[in-house]
Amino acid sequence: MDTHKVGSDTTVLADSLEVPGIGHIPANAYVLTAAEPVVVDTGLSLADRTFVNTLGSVIDPADVRWIWLTHPDRDHTGGLFDLLVAAPRAKVVTTFLGAGILSTERPLPLDRAYFLNPGQSLDVGDRTLHGFRPPLFDNPATVGFYDDRTRICFSSDCFGGPMPSAELAESGHANDLSPAQLRDAQLLWAAVDSPWVHVVDADKYRATLTPLREMGAEIVLSTHLPPAVRMTDLMIDTIMTAPDADPFVGPDQAALEQMLATFEPGGQPAAT
């Protein structure tokens, strides 16, 4: 994992996963050092990740007051319950549905929950965080937010894109790619993560982009993209075309068998 700041009071806790044939998928969490500190998502649910330890290099976990869970998928919830222990005053910002989804694995104590729907806001002492439903999402409990003090939009999965290397996924910026490379990556991610975009009414989908453009965010922080600074309109223009992009079709069994033929038992590449 890599830790670096964006602006004066926001820190990226950057991680990634390699997906063969697609690229290195960023898996970011964030720390907002507001008057009432906010952690945004809690990393990958893998046994070798120590999210709370990494968080401790940025802030004392006991000082965390809010854990904004943009949605309860496993790439967002890895350190959640450990953090609830380490941050006894913190509440989890989620939805009624989000808490229900979490409970299928491990119940979220309701006295540690704070239900917030798209269109509602949270006062964290020195600023207000405005919740919204991102145009692209893969989970019905998704709620991103806009920080009206820093003009940063936390977009959850929306605007994601696979990167060509782990270094770029964890330590780079979205503008390290050429505009064409970024466009291709974001349209691929839209097709992978939000396949419904190809079958909905395109005009109704595009209408959901207007509030995001009017937000005027200077920085977009997606879970699955390196920080994007002063690129918001460009990225909105890209995902506006998502309904017309090619749908994603994953490998079938024949392709899997071909891949397995190049590996030794145990998953190591075969010697050549």
Question: In angstroms, what is the C-alpha Rg of the chain?
Answer: 19
The residues facing 263 across adjacent strands are: 269
pLDDT digits (tens, 9 = 90+) for 238-272: 999 999 999 999 999 999 998 888 876 665 655 54
**Has residue 212 been placed in a domain?**
yes
**Has residue 192 been placed in a domain?**
yes
The residue with greater pLDDT, 110 or 20, is: 110
The CATH code of the domain that includes 203 is 3.60.15.10
> The domain containing residue 45 runs over which residues?
2-260
**Has residue 29 been placed in a domain?**
yes
**Has residue 145 been placed in a domain?**
yes
**Has residue 227 been placed in a domain?**
yes
**Has residue 271 been placed in a domain?**
no
Q: Decide if 51 contacts 29 (C-beta within 8 A).
A: yes
Count: domains in the chain: 1
Q: What are phi and psi of 131, to 5 degrees?
A: -75, 145
Strands 228-229 and 219-222: antiparallel
Rounded percentage of the chain residues whose pLDDT exceeds 90: 91
Distance CA 153, CA 257 (A): 42
**Has residue 267 been placed in a domain?**
no
Give, as one character, the DSSP assignment of residue 107.
P
pLDDT recorded at residue 267: 59
| The residue to which tokens 């409990």 are assigned | 141
**Has residue 198 been placed in a domain?**
yes
pLDDT digits (tens, 9 = 90+) for 129-177: 999 999 999 999 999 999 999 999 999 999 999 999 999 999 999 999 9
pLDDT exceeds 70 at position 202: yes
* pLDDT, the chain, mean: 95
Q: CA-based angle 80:166:228, to the nearest 5?
A: 75
